[in-house]
């Protein structure tokens, strides 16, 4: 019984850690896109960041 509980805790922890690492990498991609837009003299006209940063979009327009 204890072995099953320990196994479930370890598996759950690994899954949670995987989701959190994926979220961190996705957020890093989002922030890089926003920074690159600014560095290339663009203006971020629309940015959407979904829950846990898995779904995001950035629209960058050139400034004149």
* Residue range 12-50, pLDDT digits in tens: 999 999 999 999 999 999 999 999 999 998 999 998 988
Q: Is the pLDDT of residue 1 over 80?
A: no
Of 34, 29, 35, the C-alpha closest to 55 is: 29
37: domain range? Answer: 2-62
d(CA 12, CA 26): 21
Q: What is the pLDDT of residue 53?
A: 84
Distance of CA 20 to the CA centre of its chain: 9
Q: Regarding predicted confidence, which is higher, 63 or 43?
A: 43
d(CA 37, CA 7): 45
Q: How many domains does the chain have?
A: 1
């Amino acid at each position: 019984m204890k072995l099953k509980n320990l196994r479930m805790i370890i598996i759950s922890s690994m899954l949670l850690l995987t989701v959190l690492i994926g979220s961190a990498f996705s957020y890093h991609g989002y922030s890089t896109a926003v920074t690159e837009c600014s560095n290339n003299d663009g203006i971020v006209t629309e940015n959407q960041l979904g829950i846990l940063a898995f779904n995001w979009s950035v629209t960058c327009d050139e400034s004149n």
